[in-house]
Amino acid sequence: MTSIVNFTPIASLAGGALIGLSAVGLMGTLGRIAGLTGIVRGVVPPWMDGQEGWRLAFLIGAILAPSALYLANYWPIGFSVPVPTWTLPLSGALVGLGVTYGNGCPSGHGICGLARFSPRSAVAVATFMAAAAVTVFIVRHVIGA
């Protein structure tokens, strides 16, 4: 049975708008896609191309903001990892492989790609959303039933 839990429409809309603002800002200043796949990959050998500086600055900012909220004890939304710890490196490896072949994740394909009406991004978003939904269904309702 479906029941709606922890729904946060206002905070999620506002947070989403900030993600969009960051994407527009990065395109308007450096002409770059604010996709975390490309930005993380660009600071890992052998992708380094002399563009590590802005990528590292962006990543540091992205890490510092939630840190500051957390240290200031302003934490309106929770953080919990509802899966066994051993699945994390495995899930990470699948994500790392997948976003490299698929050339993007929800930030790059979802917010940036869809905003450019890229058919590639539309296919990528539809595919990873469907795959995630099927995976959660299997883990929670087939295996975990």
Partner 1 sequence: MSLEPELRSLPTTLALGLVFGLGIAISGMIDPAKIMNFFDFAGNWDPSLAFVMAGGLAVSIPGYRLVFVRVKPLLADGFSLPRTDRIDAALVGGSAMFGIGWGLSGFCPGGAIPALGLGRVEPFLFVAGMIAGMVLARGLQARWRQAAMA
DSSP 39: H
Question: Exposure of 119 by Cβ count < 10 A (0-12 exposed, 13-18 middle, 19+ buried)?
Answer: exposed
- x/- binding map, residues 21-60, to partner 1, per CB under 8 A? xxxxxxxxxxxxxxxxx--xx--xxxx--xx-xxx-xxxx
Closest separation between CB of residue 114 and partner 1, Å? Answer: 6
Closest separation between CB of residue 57 and partner 1, Å? Answer: 4
Given a contact cutoff of 8 angstroms between Cβ atoms, the answer to whether 69 and 75 are in contact is: yes
Closest separation between CB of residue 72 and partner 1, Å? Answer: 12
101-130 binders of partner 1 (CB under 8 A): 101-103, 105-107, 109-112, 114-116, 118-120, 123-125, 127-130
- x/- binding map, residues 83-102, to partner 1, per CB under 8 A? x-x-xxxxxxxxxxxxxxxx
**Residue 143 binds partner 1 (CB under 8 A):** no
**Residue 72 binds partner 1 (CB under 8 A):** no
DSSP SS3 for 79: coil
Q: Choose which of 5, 72, 73, 143 interacts with partner 1 (CB under 8 A).
A: 5
What is the distance of C-alpha 125 from the center of its chain? 12
Question: Rounded to 5 degrees, what angle do the CA atoms 17, 95, 122 make?
Answer: 50
Closest separation between CB of residue 69 and partner 1, Å? Answer: 6
Given a contact cutoff of 8 angstroms between Cβ atoms, the answer to whether 104 and 113 are in contact is: yes
